[in-house]
Amino acid sequence: MSRTVIRGGLVVTAAEETPADVLIEDGKVAALAAPGGEWSQGWTADRTIDATGRYVIPGGVDGHTHMEMPFGGTFASDTFETGTRAAAWGGTTTIVDFAVQTVGHALREGLDAWHLKAHGNCAIDYGFHMILSDVNESTLKEMDLLVGEGVTSFKLFMAYPGVFYSDDGQILRAMQRASGNGGLIMMHAENGIAIDVLVEQALAEGRTDPRYHGEVRKALLESEATHRAIQLARVAGAPLYVVHVSAQEAVAELTRARDLGLDVFGETCPQYLFLSTDNLAEPDFEGAKYVCSTPLRPVEHQAALWRGLRTNDLQVVSTDHCPFCFTGQKELGRGDFSKIPNGMPGVEHRMDLLHQAVVDGHISRRRWIEIACATPARMFGLYPRKGTIAPGADADIVVYDPRARQTLSAGTHHMNVDYSAYEGKQITGQVETVLSRGVPVIDQREYTGRAGHGQFLIRDTCQYLG
């Protein structure tokens, strides 16, 4: 039996923060005990980690990543190997990535392809959601099978006509199916039909720069779609999780639904909390680095997102990590913003940026762990195996130095992308050591992990209802 003890740290979970020593046996948390007490002094171990002056927190659970995702004629630049390694560097020990169904093909084909991409390549544990690009009788039936295999959530798009788009009838049918099989519908809520009209008009008028990506993808078209998705979910009697919420008007729709007691949930991402349309307007095509959908919003929207996170009208912060290099990939959209691949890098920085939010007073320490670890684990059927530090949980544990200073930069990050969306940003706090099922993946800021250590997670259905 292998045993590790972490001594002297402040254990922070969503529920409490308490000085405690942590005993790990065979990859699981075995016990927590008062530091230096008689009981924990008696623990023998193969390895002791001194966490004096450090936080001992659950590994991050990033419920929204796109490794190797095909988009706009290219592929997201992180593979499962490079992306999960970067995630580990940033204190994330679980990702839930999106397997993609191609129109005209079965869900099974898409899921098998994603298993092949990930199997044997991941440094940390991983699960899959399924993107439904083609809702029909056969794929509706397949949803039931996938739920049985631990792929218990399905993303639908109200945007991207002709690619991922589903119409309202298809959405309603998928929601009805999910209400029967326990699946969770995740919605990309933007009115893509209207957006495509505005894109066409902008390009015809010569408005081709990246900043017009933000102007045509209007906040009202996010909130309208959010409202419609909520009503369709009500009709179907299904819970709803709205991904990458960026507009304050969309947060208002979620708040209204939650005030009615509906099982409607919202996720936002660090890019919407820390970046804005000012970045999209950066000259010399640099704004392309910040093209993602939903788009970055004017800085005023950030207050509504922070408030939503504090009031639990937004429950989760994920990254929507979908990196494309500036050179050769983002550049595909020079002279036509609609051809810039949509997505931004971020899997490595979520835990640090949210710790910075603690330092800045936006959220509490426990709320940091709740929105980044515990709630995503519950939302996606992984709790309490993931997302907390408690006897029986996987020993996915981060020793975090809350006083270390770091500067985010493409020169030092580990994601396979040639720019940082946060170049030069100063952060207080840094990951020191990361355990995945008790195995050191980052050890005193050295990478000690291995591709293939990460295992596929068969997930339960959503544990956050009611």
Residues that bind ligand URP (CB under 6 A): 66, 188, 244, 292-293, 320, 322, 342-343
Any bridge partners for residue 129, and if so which? 98
List the single partner that 263 binds among ligand URP, Zn ion, none, CB under 5 to 8 Å by kind.
none
Q: Could you tell me the smallest distance in angstroms from the CB atom of residue 379 to ligand URP?
A: 16
Rounded to a whole number of angstroms, the minimum distance from the CB of residue 401 to ligand URP is 31
Q: Are strands 264-268 and 316-317 parallel, antiparallel or unpaired?
A: parallel
**Which of Zn ion, ligand URP, none sits in contact with 342, Cβ below 5 to 8 A by type?**
ligand URP
Asked if residues 71 and 343 have their Cβ atoms less than 8 Å apart, the reply is yes
Q: Which is nearer to ligand URP, 6 or 292 (CB)?
A: 292
Which tokens hold the place of 212? 């017009």
Q: How far from 311 is each of 43, 367, 451, CA to CA, in Å?
A: 41, 10, 39
Q: How far is the CB of 377 from ligand URP (least distance, A)?
A: 20
> Binds 224, which of ligand URP, Zn ion, none (CB < 5 to 8 A, cut-off by type)?
none
**Residue 157 Cβ vs ligand URP, minimum distance, rounded to whole Å:** 7
Identity of the residue, 175 or 435, whose beta carbon is nearer to Zn ion in the bound complex:
175
Provide, rounded to whole angstroms, the least separation between the CB of residue 183 and ligand URP: 18
Q: Is 57 or 95 the residue whose CB approaches Zn ion more closely?
A: 95
Alpha-carbon distance of 175 to 164, in angstroms, equals 16
The DSSP bridge partners found for residue 57 are 398
Residue 421 interaction partner, one of Zn ion, ligand URP, none, beta carbon < 5-8 Å per kind: none
Rg value, the chain, Cα: 21
DSSP letters, 38-104, are HHHHT---SEEEE-TTSEEEEPEEEEEE-TT-EETTEE-S--HHHHHHHHHHTTEEEEEEEEEPPTT
- Shortest approach of ligand URP to residue 164 CB, angstroms? 8
Q: How many residues belong to the chain?
A: 466
Q: Is the dihedral of CA 24, 30, 33, 39 positive or negative?
A: negative
Of the candidates 30, 23, 28, the residue with the CA atom closest to the CA atom of residue 6: 23
Phi and psi (nearest 5°) for 48?
-120, 130
In DSSP terms, which residues pair with 92 in a beta bridge? 60
Pick what 292 binds: Zn ion, ligand URP, none; C-beta below 5 to 8 Å, kind-dependent.
ligand URP
What is the closest distance, in whole angstroms, from the C-beta atom of residue 244 to ligand URP in the complex? 6
CB nearer Zn ion, residue 188 or residue 362: 188
Residue 202 φ/ψ region, left for φ over 0, alpha for ψ in the -120 to 50 degree band, beta for the rest: alpha
**What would the two tokens of residue 141 be?**
């039936």
Q: Which residue has the tokens 């390009």?
A: 203
Interacting residues toward Zn ion by CB under 5 A? 188, 320
89/157 with CB nearer ligand URP: 157
Q: Which is nearer to ligand URP, 187 or 408 (CB)?
A: 187
The rounded distance, in Å, linking the Cα atoms of 309 and 267 is 9
Least CB distance from residue 156 to ligand URP, whole Å? 11
**Partner in contact with 436, chosen from ligand URP, Zn ion, none, beta carbon below 5 to 8 Å by kind:** none
Sign of CA dihedral 2, 30, 369, 342: positive
CB of 330 to ligand URP, least distance (A): 12
Closest to ligand URP by CB, 32 or 158: 158
Nearer to ligand URP, 54 or 213 (CB): 213
Q: Report the residue number, 188 or 330, with the smaller CB distance to Zn ion.
A: 188
C-alpha to C-alpha distance for 342 and 292, rounded to whole angstroms:
4
**Distance of closest approach, residue 66 Cβ to ligand URP, in angstroms:** 5
* Cα gap 295→342, rounded to integer Å: 9
Q: Which is nearer to ligand URP, 57 or 344 (CB)?
A: 344
Alpha-carbon separation of residue 132 from 65, 143, 160, 247, 395 (angstroms): 16, 9, 13, 24, 33
Q: Where are the beta strands (DSSP E) in 271-321?
A: 316-317
